Structure 1
Amino acid sequence: MPEPPVPHGLDDQGFIAREGSLARVPVVFRPAVAAARDRLLDLFGARLHSAYLYGSIPRGTARVGRSDLDLFVALREEPTDADREAVRALGEAVDKEFPQVDGVGTLLYGRGRLLSELERYNLGWFVACLCTPLLGDDLAEYLPRYRPDSLLARETNGDLALRLPRWRERIADAEDSEEARRPLVRFMSRHLVRTAFTLVMPRWNGWTSDLSEMAEVCGAYCPERAEQLRTAARYGQEPVGDPQVLRSYVDDLGPWLAEEYARVHGVKAPRPQD
């Protein structure tokens, strides 16, 4: 069995170190970030509690014309459908104006939900460890510190079995073209690799957001799936529009991973929307 990469991503007390910083945002992406920041303020005003960056841009690993701009927004109250439509339109406008980004995605939640007991080891962890403050009062100040343990694994990615039927519906409903399938391949590839990583994260006792490294870590513990995971990590960065890839995700890799996850970590606590 190959040795996994040396564990890292923790502080000197064994907690997951927060990723990213505004200082790491590459110069070429800063105009897009500034535009998104200013437009969020204009859109929500006093209703905005805080906003964050996450993903490759604040980690300093983004690729010009290939990486998306990921935003996380907390409102003082629960968002409405109109709010979700407004941030979708904002993202489309920023994406169109700044060719250095390949899409803009915004996660939108209310402050109360993010600080709730139910979300402490899911959305709360996401904000505290994977998000870089951009605007407002940092919610990480109200959240605990996190270790790469089985509780965190279960509450972050222990719902894959629920997702697979929805994925099958999305695949069936997608237009029969490579262009329509590529975003699905990218999204599902990333999700599966990240879930595979958190399956073995407590054994590895470290943290990484690098898809290739995630695949290598899980592959070292699950060598029979190593090549599939390496390929999925590659498609998470350079997606193809092959329908067979999508079928393999929902008929083979996904069901195996969901079953193994439930066996090792249990099932994520149900959410009202489930």
Structure 2
Amino acid sequence: MADTVHRPGLDAQGHIRREGSLARVPPAFRPVVSAARERLADTFGTRLNGAYLYGSVPRGTAHVGRSDLDLLVTLHGDPTARDRNATRALEERLDDEFPEVDGVGTLLYARERVLSGLERHDLGWFVSCLCTPLSGEDLAALLPRYRPDALLARETNGDLALLLPRWRERIAAADGTEEARRPLVRFMSRHLVRTGFTLVMPRWNGWTSDLTEMAEVFGLYYPQRAARMRAAAALGREPSGDPAVLASYVDELGPWLAGEYARVHGVKAPRPD
């Protein structure tokens, strides 16, 4: 049963509030955000349905030279290989020109997919609650309000068991350098902390995107693994390239978390390949 205490991140009706806004973008990041908006429009033209920011930049918590710029783009029609190549080129140019950001990442989706029933409690929720409109149509107006319940937990992060083999492949493909492993540590650390948080989210009955707070909430319900999750949260902010960390994620913490998630919430509905 969920706690009855009113938790952070919810409105008066118990729905997850949309986080972030353009007004919260730190001044140092406004030039790269403006450039991203203009270049996305130039890249996709009339096929661009909407562009969004997410992550620390629109939440106002980004650190110059350490935080990445996260973008989500919706298109009229499915993204093509040409679209993805053009996006990678755009990301590289922004990363090279703006030292304020430590990497640029863009998610590309068809408008129809975001609004589909299959994605209602995953990608749809993500756009509606965690993305800040940058340009174009805001699809949140066509999506429902969301509560931090077991359905949302299952459909957002109930696929960790499927991801772990892919993570092992990515680790094996890295060139063995600190520089190559550091982004993997950051990405996997963040993913595991968020999965740990959503595992207990319905019981805690609230929402946060702060990695430290996510780890602390997880630790309330799994105290024997609290220190491990706190360490992952720290590496999600300041990653190392330690190969032992990656090994522990795919051989220990990840498999345990995937099994516990399936036991508590079930497995995410299958998606097309």
TM-score bracket, normalised by the shorter chain, equals over 0.9
* Structure 2: gaps spanning 5 or more residues: none
Report Cα offsets for 1:55-84 as digits up to 9, x if no partner. Answer: 000000000000001000000111101101
Aligned-pair CA distance for 1:6: 7.8
Aligned-pair CA distance for 1:143: 0.3
Give the whole-Å Cα distance in 2 for the aligned partners of 1:173 and 1:69: 24
**Residue of structure 2 in register with 1:209 after alignment:** 209
SS of the equivalent of 2:106 reads strand
1:173-212 alignment, distance < 5 Å: 173-212=173-212
**Residue of structure 2 in register with 1:70 after alignment:** 70
Task: Give the counterpart letter for 2:249 in structure 1.
Answer: Y
**Residue of structure 1 in register with 2:15 after alignment:** 15
**Residue of structure 1 in register with 2:99 after alignment:** 99
Task: Give the counterpart letter for 1:13 in structure 2.
Answer: Q
TM-score, normalization: structure 2?
Answer: 0.97
SS of the equivalent of 2:257 reads helix
**Residue of structure 1 in register with 2:160 after alignment:** 160
Task: Give the counterpart letter for 2:57 in structure 1.
Answer: I
Give the whole-Å Cα distance in 1 for the aligned partners of 2:179 and 2:41: 34
- CA RMSD in angstroms comes to 1.0
SS of the equivalent of 2:261 reads helix
**Residue of structure 1 in register with 2:135 after alignment:** 135
1:45-84 alignment, distance < 5 Å: 45-84=45-84
With 170-179 and 191-200 compared, the bigger mean Cα shift is at: 170-179
1:28-43 alignment, distance < 5 Å: 28-43=28-43
Q: Does 2:184 correspond to 1:150?
A: no
Task: Give the counterpart letter for 2:176 in structure 1.
Answer: D
Give the whole-Å Cα distance in 2 for the aligned partners of 1:6 and 1:210: 18
**Residue of structure 1 in register with 2:88 after alignment:** 88
Task: Give the counterpart letter for 2:143 in structure 1.
Answer: L
Aligned-pair CA distance for 1:7: 2.5
Give the whole-Å Cα distance in 2 for the aligned partners of 1:77 and 1:6: 40
**Residue of structure 2 in register with 1:115 after alignment:** 115
SS of the equivalent of 1:78 reads coil
SS of the equivalent of 1:176 reads coil
Task: Give the counterpart letter for 2:75 in structure 1.
Answer: L
Question: What is the aligned length?
Answer: 269
Q: Which runs of 4+ in 1 moved over 4 A?
A: none
1:215-234 alignment, distance < 5 Å: 215-234=215-234
Aligned-pair CA distance for 1:216: 0.3
Contact residue 127 and residue 140 of structure 2 kept, 8 A: yes
TM-score, normalization: structure 1?
Answer: 0.97
SS of the equivalent of 2:154 reads helix
Give the whole-Å Cα distance in 1 for the aligned partners of 2:11 and 2:88: 36
Aligned-pair CA distance for 1:179: 1.3
Q: What percentage of residue pairs aligned between the two structures are identical?
A: 74
Contact residue 6 and residue 205 of structure 2 kept, 8 A: no
Aligned-pair CA distance for 1:172: 1.3
Task: Give the counterpart letter for 1:50 in structure 2.
Answer: G
SS of the equivalent of 2:132 reads strand
